[in-house]
Each structure stands twice: as structure tokens, then as C-alpha cells.
Amino acid sequence: MSERTITRAQLSEAIYQEVGLSRNESADLLEMVLDEISQALVQEEVVKISSFGSFSVRRKGQRVGRNPKTGEEVPILPRRVLVFRPSQLLKGRINAKA
Amino acid sequence: MTKSELIQRLAERNPHLYQRDVERIVSTIFDEIAAALARGDRVELRGFGAFSVKQRDARTGRNPRTGDSVSVAAKAVPYFKTGKQLRDLLNAG
């Protein structure tokens, strides 16, 4: 089985097929969904999509890193990272043998 | 924000759409991503992030309560890597 990459094009095509909006509006709605999720995460809201998984933001403190090429110590500044936790259902689907 | 709150927010931004259609849009997106991952495909949404499947080898684990060793079978796990644009958005300012 060769691995394919699905992009916005296939997802908006699926919306077009399933819901019957125009292709343009299907693409716009997909973008709005990603935008709403992003905006919620920026506000540090947890985004829970039942039967799929949840996205949350974790704050990381400052730590000392090292430039692997020069060995020089550089501070890694505090930052926020996104964490995705897949639901049990999604994990199960991925391991289901066809 | 739950899935139904997401649907609510989208419905408010799109008063010309039926709520039922907004629900189908959101469900279609996550169903398609899940189906792609179940086939072993990657889903790349540039700017937002990419979903992929990583293989974990079988290993010998331990029951933390009893210390007994147990064999853990090989498995596949879903993985999400945040896109550059979203990562930057989270750390702006």
C-alpha cells in the first residue's frame, strides 16, 4: 500500500460531494473550520472533537539548548506548543486490520 | 471548544447555511481525515499542520504495579505536527 498525501483539495471536494455547496464555498468553509480551531487555540481553549481527538496548548518554560553544530549554549525561550491527543476511537481505527 | 461549539460558531458566521449542513461539513472534514489515516495516508493542511501515522515496534513493557514484564504488540499511532503558520501564531508577540 503506497502512502498518499491528502490536502485541502480532497477535503473540500469531499464537502462538495457530501453537502452540495459550490466548490468555492466548500473550500471557504474548510478554511473557516481551520481558522476557528486556530483562534480557539490561540486563546488557550482546549478543542475537543468527539471521536477524533483533542487539541490543546501547553506552555514550555525557558531551557538551555545547544547548537548541535558548534556546541554553543543558547537559551530556548519560553513558548507555547500545540499538543494533539487522538481519541481511543481514532487509535482503534488506525490499528484495525482490514 | 467542543465539536458542537465549533459548529455553533461556524453557523453564526454563516447565517445563510442550515445548521444541519454546517454539522455535515464539520463531520465530513474529520471523517475524511480519520479515513485517510486508517488507510495509512498522510493529511497535510499547510499552515495548520499535518496528520500522519507512525509505526511503533513491539516492545517489552512492565506492569508498573507488579513489575511483571508484558509484551506490547507493534502498533500504529496517529501523529500531528503543527504547521509553521499556526506555531508562529501561538508565539506571536
DSSP chain B: -BHHHHHHHHHHH-TTS-HHHHHHHHHHHHHHHHHHHHHT-EEEETTTEEEEEEEE--EEEE-TTT--EEEE--EEEEEEEE-HHHHHHHT--
Interface test with A, best of B14, B25, B53 (most A CBs within 10 A): B25
The reply to whether A73 and A36 lie within a common domain is no
Judged by phi (left if over 0) then psi (alpha if -120 to 50, else beta), residue A31 lies in alpha
Q: Distance of CA B60 to CAs A91, A95, A96, B55, B63, Å?
A: 20, 19, 22, 16, 10
Cβ distance of B44 and A5 shorter than 8 Å: yes
Q: Within this chain, do residues A79 and A55 fall inside the same structural domain, yes or no?
A: yes
Predicted local distance difference test score (pLDDT) of residue B67: 87
**pTM for this one?**
0.90
A27 and A2 inside one domain: yes
| Domain span at A31 | 1-43
Domain with A74 in it: what CATH number?
4.10.520.10
Amino acid letter for position B51: F
Which residues in chain A (33-92) have CB-CB distances under 8 A to chain B?
A: 33-34, 36-38, 40-42, 45-53, 55, 57, 79-82, 84, 86, 90-91
Distance CA A83, CA B19 (A): 29
DSSP output for A63-94: EEEE-TTT--EEEEPPEEEEEEEE-HHHHHHH
Q: Are both A52 and A39 inside the same structural domain?
A: no
A42-89 per-position pLDDT tens digit: 999 999 999 999 999 999 999 999 999 999 999 998 999 999 999 999
Distance separating alpha carbons of residues B60 and B69, to the nearest angstrom? 6
Do A35 and A68 reside in the same domain of the chain? no
Both A53 and A34 in one domain: the answer is no
Count other C-beta atoms under 10 Å from residue A82's C-beta.
Answer: 21
Which residues in chain A touch residue B78, judged by CB atoms under 8 angstroms apart? 53, 84, 86, 90-91, 94
Nearest to A79 among B36, B75, B91 (CB): B91
- All residues of chain A having their beta carbon less than 8 Å from the beta carbon of residue B47 are 34
**Which residues of chain B neighbour A96 with C-beta distances below 8 Å?**
38
Total structural domains within chain A: 2
Facing residue for B89 by CB, picked from A5, A42, A81: A42
A52 and A74, same structural domain?
yes
On the question of pLDDT at B93 being above 90, the answer is no
Look at A50 and B2 and tell me if their CB atoms are within 8 Å.
Answer: yes
Q: Do residue A82 and residue A53 come from a single domain?
A: yes
pLDDT digits over B68-91, tens only? 999 988 999 999 999 999 999 999
**Do A36 and A9 share a structural domain?**
yes
Task: Say how many C-beta atoms besides its own lie within 10 A of residue A59's C-beta.
Answer: 10
Are residues A69 and A26 located together in one domain of the fold? no
